[in-house]
A and B are shown apart, each in its own frame.
Chain A
Amino acid sequence: MPKVAVIKFPGTNADLDVVWVLRKVSRLEAYSIWHSEFRADGWDAVVIPGGFSYGDWLRAGAIAAKSEVVKELVNALDNGIPLLGICNGFQILTEAEVLPGVLLPNESCRFICRWVRVRFVNPRGPWLKLVSNDFVADMPIAHGEGRYYVGFYEEVSKLPLITYYGYNPNGSSYDIAGVGTSDGLVLGLMPHPERASEPELTPRTLSQGGRVVWLSISNALREGW
């Protein structure tokens, strides 16, 4: 069975939620791995989950972005290991310049915790294999620094994007909630797909919008993408 590593930094708190959905929804082998104990070989995919890292001092994700594990993950990308960053994981990947843009404090200057509706644009790669273009889904966000900023839309317009649909909660440029690399091997997003993948955690009127991500990686690791 394909194996997925979920990296834990000091302050990460969503690692076990991600391990849970990888096991229950994706039906994959998944483990939470302390960052200094991680070695890239032997893993089929890696997730950097949400929470905080190193107190999010300096800037959210800035200290973890310089860590050995992120360097190792960047090297692993050459071997085609899919990498997903959720929330703080997304912040780490932008600070490491694996993904374009930067995440600034929310326009409201407040921490925001709520469900949002997002739309998938140009979906491709292992994390979005089963997603059709313009697919709309519900997921919760919980962040203080989630305002995605990128200078020109042309920098990201051809890339896989996840955009806030109907309402932009934090002032992100071009309503961007998530972005991937051009091949879709790396994906980062502020909303939490692991918190929107089971009926127990999803309000009745909303969709389990994160499921499609976990079903995609499950399918991709077994059948290719």
Chain B
Amino acid sequence: MYVVEVVITNKRVARDPEGETIYKDLISRYGFDKVRGVRSGKYLEILVESKSHEEALNYVKDLCSKLRLYNPSVHDVRVELRCLK
């Protein structure tokens, strides 16, 4: 069993209301002035039954695009293997 992490964020060109609000109305308002920006996203932890880590990774990458877990026109996606379970 493998745990595969999927992080979906809006592309840089797209606005991100959640990240912008957390930055503008919370972080930058209360003195944390070294912060230059915040991007929010969606985090999925996918548990995969698989023989090898390459297979697990490709399996999840495949399902992400086939089921449109992200929309390639507006989202960036990062798929990473976290650990063996």
Contacts and interface: CB of A to CB of B under 8 A. Distances in A.
The answer on A and B forming one complex is yes
B22 interface: yes
B30 A58 contact: no
Contacts of A58: 18, 21-22, 26
Contacts of B17: 55, 57
Interface string A60-96: 0011001000000000000000000000000000000
B5 to A, nearest CB: 21
A57 B22 contact: yes
A52 B57 CA distance: 39
Interface residues of B, number: 9
A63 B26 contact: yes
Contacts, number: 23
A55 B19 CA distance: 11
Contacts of A55: 17-18, 21
A57 B18 contact: yes
Q: Per DSSP, are chain B's interface residues mostly helix, strand or loop, or mixed?
A: helix
B30 A63 contact: no
Contact of A57 (B21, B29, B30): B21
A57 B20 CA distance: 10
A149 interface: no
Interface in B15-33: 17-18, 21-22, 25-26, 29-30
A9 to B, nearest CB: 10
B18 A66 contact: no
A66 B30 contact: yes
Nearest to A10: B25
Contacts of B18: 55, 57-58
Contacts of B30: 66
Nearest to A64: B25
Nearest to B17: A55
Interface in B28-60: 29-30, 40
Interface in A39-68: 54-55, 57-58, 62-63, 66
Contacts of B22: 57-58, 63
A174 to B, nearest CB: 31
Nearest to A65: B26
Interface of B: 17-18, 21-22, 25-26, 29-30, 40
